[in-house]
Structure 1
């Protein structure tokens, strides 16, 4: 402190202001954390994962206790003779409507619920852009789809091996596949469902944005998957069938052949990526252009 010539203390000279702490603007990560927190709080998502965990155990126990086998479904005849057959049987059955339903459960509602509850204004006042909202919600829905598939696969394979056993598996060409190789093939077969599952998630996101109706966003993708499967069974439209999103769900058959072939698997991956990219693009630009200020 300095003093004047009269001896009166003078106020200290002002110092340079301390640099202001940089504030981090909210981004996609903020939206993602918020959406994941909302998802965890929803009973529907928790119950869905619980069903994915417990339902395969019940199904394996029921089929293992029955004398007759579901011979009309692939690997149904072997469900009592090898623990590797049951996961493939459930994989084939689940691809008909269970997988699309799991993909649509969150994705079909995640945008439409904001319209339903009128909360768009609240979200848009949190210093985040529509693009950040879109990608944060899309990532949340995709994470749930992947998690539900992983839980379902782990429960199905684990319960089948524990309850039925690790006997060798008979391949689609009649060859006997040893236990170690069979486990790798079963895991790979379930892995092939991941790409079309993400494709159904993108389709559900698009319908969630366009319909603005949670019920339609969840139900319509499941109905479309059933229509695709029906179209795929019709004769004379093989070219059309290759580009359906349901077709890649059967691409695992080539892995179990006596001489494995990967053409359908590669083409199915490309089809799934195409569906995902197109649906996400339409959903993104639809959300950017839509009038949501009234919500």
Structure 2
């Protein structure tokens, strides 16, 4: 029997889908087997408890932010204080733990030729690794958010929250706003995951892929804080980590969140597109 051109395309499409599914399952299995990954998730689950206890026990709470002033007497304020620091330092690093390693580790171990089988295209392999990295970033953020919220409320209480405009937020509404605030950090976390993937692909170095996104995040914060960068600041992924402030004001405003959502989407598409182009064209004959 002679296959037509349409039949060939169907066979190739089916093989590509099967290759992506097999590659994704393999990447997830590799991820689950890594002690480092389990340790990071355990840290995201357990670390908020002693942090909340230490802050709550302070006789002189941090007063440079409104939520810091009430962090020792209100659990909702405590979790928002932790969120502010996490967006500045922790979340970019958390997303890079896997994303910065997932491609560069193949260079480190010289396994590119081994995994590039005929049944898995480079695009499918890239998609599988990217999906795995994004999934870990979302999981890590979810674990950290849930643990921080629950531990902060259990330790600091769930009384009425004082918002950024001085308004009193009842507990039922505070639960919703605090959860939405943590959820709003997902778009910039995805953007930093994509950046870590690009650096991992481009540098072929695990150290660069993991550490550089955090350093770049610090540089973005410094650029955003300079006097002549007001026009650029709303479009930086680091600024999107602060968009939740609008949820806690009266009247509430979502403009920064929507701008950050669009900006982070553009950052993600551009960095992943460039990473895919490098992956497809790269020479793997060396390993």
Match of 1:172 in 2: 164
Paired residues of 2:58 and 2:72 also in contact (CA < 8 A): no
Query: Which aligned pairs between 1:4-153 and structure 2 lie closer than 5 A?
Result: 25=15, 26-125=18-117, 127-153=119-145
| C-alpha RMSD of the superposition | 1.2
| SS of residue paired to 1:93 | helix
Deviation (angstroms), 1:146: 0.2
Quote how far apart the aligned CAs of 1:245 are. 1.2
Task: State which drifts further: 78-87 or 44-53.
Answer: 78-87
Matched, 1:155 2:147: yes
The two structures have a TM-score, normalised by structure 1, of 0.90
In the other structure, the counterpart of 1:240 is: 232
Secondary structure of the corresponding residue to residue 71 of structure 2 = coil
Deviations 1:100-137 (A, max 9, x none): 00111000010000011000011012621100100000
CA–CA distance in 2 between the matches of 1:27 and 1:76?
50
Where has structure 1 moved over 6 Å in runs of 4 or more?
Answer: none
Instruction: Check whether the contact 1:131–1:288 (CA below 8 A) recurs between aligned residues.
Output: yes
**1:67: how far off?**
0.7
Deviation at 1:74, TM superposition (A): 4.8
The answer to whether the Cα contact below 8 Å between 2:56 and 2:73 also exists between their aligned partners in 1 is no
Deviations 1:184-221, CA, capped at 9 Å, x for gaps = 00000001000000000000000000000001110111
- Give the whole-Å Cα distance in 1 for the aligned partners of 2:41 and 2:65: 25
**Distance in 1 between the 2:138 and 2:24 partners?**
15
Does the 8 Å CA contact 1:74/1:92 hold for their aligned counterparts?
Answer: no
Instruction: Report matched runs for 1:198-209 at 5 Å.
Output: 198-209=190-201
Cα deviation, 1:29-59, whole Å, max 9, x if unaligned, reads 1111101111111011000000000110010
Q: How many residues align?
A: 273
Cα separation, partners in 2 of 1:67 and 1:41, compared to 1, 3 Å:
same
CA distance in 2, matches of 1:126, 1:31: 12
Measured in 2, the distance between the counterparts of 1:222 and 1:293 equals 31
Contact 1:69–1:77, Cα closer than 8 Å, also in 2: yes
Residue 244 of structure 1, CA deviation? 1.1
Q: 2:264 aligns with which of 253, 272, 281?
A: 272
Structure 2 Cα separation of the partners of residues 146 and 243 of structure 1: 22
For 1:218, which of 184, 187, 210 is the aligned residue? 210
Following the alignment from structure 1 to structure 2, what is the Cα–Cα distance between the partners of residues 240 and 170?
31
For 2:114 and 2:175, the matched residues in 1 are separated by: 49
Q: Give me the whole-angstrom Cα distance separating, in 2, the residues matched to 1:27 and 1:71.
A: 54
Gap runs ≥5 in structure 1: 1-21
Which residue is 1:257 aligned to?
A: 249
CA distance in 2, matches of 1:74, 1:219: 31
Would the alpha carbon gap of residues 137 and 74 (structure 1) be closer, same or farther in structure 2, given more than 3 Å must change? farther
